Structure 1
Amino acid sequence: MTTYEEALSWIHGRLQLGIKPGLKRMEWLMEKMKHPERRLRAVHIGGTNGKGSTVAMMRSILEKAGYEVGTFTSPYIEQFNERISINGQPISDEAIVELTAMIKPLAEELEKTELGGPSEFEVITAMALYYFAYTRPVDIVLFEVGLGGRLDSTNVIQPLLSVITTIGMDHMQFLGDTLEDIAFEKAGIIKNGAPVVTGVKQEAALGVIKGRAKEVRSPVYQLGEQFKADWQTSMPQGEVFHFQSVFANLKDLMTGLNGLHQTDNAAVAVMSILYLRTFYAFLVEEEHIRSGLQSAKWPGRMEYVSEQPTILLDGAHNPEGMRALAASLAERFPSKNITALFSGMKDKDLKEMTELLEKTANHIVFTTFEFPRAAKKKDFAPFLTTHQWEEDWQGFIQKFQQTADENEVLVVTGSLYFISEVKRFIKEA
């Protein structure tokens, strides 16, 4: 293993093993790697939507306060290395090569056991744990859950704090087909005595989260109870809100991320930071919270990539995300002519997502892209009597750039993998 290309090829080759829920392989790897997960001060962030945005805001606040912050996130938008970052800077190609050379023999040894070889995500998770524990120790690591929580490979960590952003109907083939089932999987990241901060609003899901917290004697800080976010207005870049909590009250906070839902994500991030300040002596002042929130960026979430004409990218890859996008578009562009270019995965609820988009978009254009699970024309067939199909999405975007007037808005939405492709195309163009 001598080159970055070889390393990436080997890592991505693990994709053929699919998703493998369970912690036995990770526990085996942790034992062989001298338990890097025990050397970290970490926050564990799960939920259906809002994980990445919450990580970005927490990281930005802690960075403003002078801390070195490691993050583990997925998927990536522009570069694989983004998944393991310090203060927002992806790790180097050389570090990827070194980590892959370390993990590959272990993966091959594990493959010979009854547990079977580790999946791609398990390999990347193990690499991140080792990197932040031994290669490049940091002050704190923010670990984003990959899928679910209880059986996710990141769940080997013992966090200072667990965060559950939202609960929605997604990944039902793995997590169950009711809110309670999904909440049970998400709540699996709550550990003995470590508190949970949550932005979940559905009573059924909250009941499950509180039940798990009671079992393991973990305090619960719930949006709408121990802390609140009162949205005020949308700005050209970001949202303004008042924050109230048992720890502090802060007026006129502004997010650097667009979308009404980012107010809730920001409140969850601020509450989590205040908990770390109160109980773990993190030296974070009000000015760090204000400036950190405002400077936080997270690609592919109501992200403007062109102002003339207006083009924005939003990875609304499930009904909950699409509902949030529709509400934000209605608030930000009440009198604009909105065109939505949409490509999603065929295993998602395309019907509900389309119906939500119809509430705001004047025109919906469906397309596809090169990805094994991407929906094709036949998957969108039920909607093509009233909406448009476009095979050449690159040409469609270019034509919009050339012909759109100031009253028109293009929102590119759906799968984050599609958003990644579009962002790369626009950047190169």
Structure 2
Amino acid sequence: MTITILFISFFALLALGMPIAFAVGVASLLIIALDPTLLAYIVTSKFFAGIDSFTLLAIPFFIFAGELCTESGLTARIVHFANVLVGRFFRVGLAYVNILSSMIFAGVSGSITADSAAMGSLLIPSMKKEGYDSDYAVAVTATSGTIGALIPPSILMVLYGSLTSLSVGQLFLGGIVPGFLFGATLMIVAYVVGRLRGYDFRISDVAGASEGPYWKELLRAFRSASIALIIPLIIVGGIVGGFATPTEAGVLAVACALIAGLFFYRTLSWRRIYEASYRTALLTAVVMAIIAFSTLFSDILTRNDFQNWLLGNIGMVSENRYVYLTLILLMLFVLGFVLDVTAMLIMFAAPLSAIGLTLGFDPIHFGVIIVMVSLLGACTPPVGTLLLIGCSIANIPLTRVVGTVAWFVGAQLLVCIFLMFVPEAVTFVPNLVFNR
């Protein structure tokens, strides 16, 4: 009964337009007020315990690194390199550039919102100028932004690891193959949808035509973007090699971005650094507020044995563990329509991780799948963060994109289902490196 009241009050507050962090908090406070077994002190206790984590310090550092890369022009260099590499050779060339750029930038910032905003501001106007429809450009940009949470580093993987006491390094490595599968799948869908719409655009260069042989141009583009390609190696290598924690790796990412902007490219000024710091502070405050309130929500779920309640209800349908997992993923996918991905992970990561262990799934495989499906909510209306970012850049209503983005999200969901039955695709790299 407590769980039912908790969810009804939470969704009622969301329907009234209350911000998600406060809706989570008020719903939790209502349960504490109604339940005499819950003491008021757990509010402050869990609120501060949720954000009192050294690992979570990695989040503002990765956000800051992404903002610095945008301010220093490194993001534009990534786009230029991706364009030289694939843009001129394929139909729907700029769509491929968009997806490949997101895959590269994912290795720098680890933030899906930073990825989508950076790529969208550069590529959505370019795609519209080249003749692509706005809804197509937004759908490609929004869905490719999800790759930022899979290819390491990943803020969501840091968050999931912190909440479930799993190795962040293993979660990082577990996201590599799924990240590339997401990218490859999106390229296939972009091609199919592009052909159905009659697109046949091959481009010379986003930033302008270049002189000389192709290999020289590719080498110049590679050298220009080389720092962006090196940063992920430093981050992942430091964590996997045991030289750095995720937080220290975030500091390294910031240091690399500052050195590149101040000394190599000389495009960073104190004003730009201040603006990047300001945006980082705002985004970090939002994320930490959601974490703090959602930790209280998650604790109430755990105290009321939510995992066994969920298992018991699903068990009425089937006792097969893959049916269990399929229904859990379906629940997350549906909740993603109305919940922010960060809040959803914080609320359900701990109880769902316990369910995964009960069902006998590898915790890294289970965790990566949970993160992947949760990410799809960032691309589905009405609360899809990445979709809203793209629509605001393209200046089109959300309703215009829904039909187009369904193709891309549907394909990503199929990848999640495939990986559910092939755990080796997720665990191969972590097992190889950590000898699990």
| Superposition TM-score, scaled by structure 1 size | 0.25
Tell me: higher relative CO, structure 1 or 2? Use CA pairs within 8 A at least 6 residues apart.
2
**TM-score where L is the length of structure 2:** 0.25
Which of the pair is proportionally richer in strand? 1
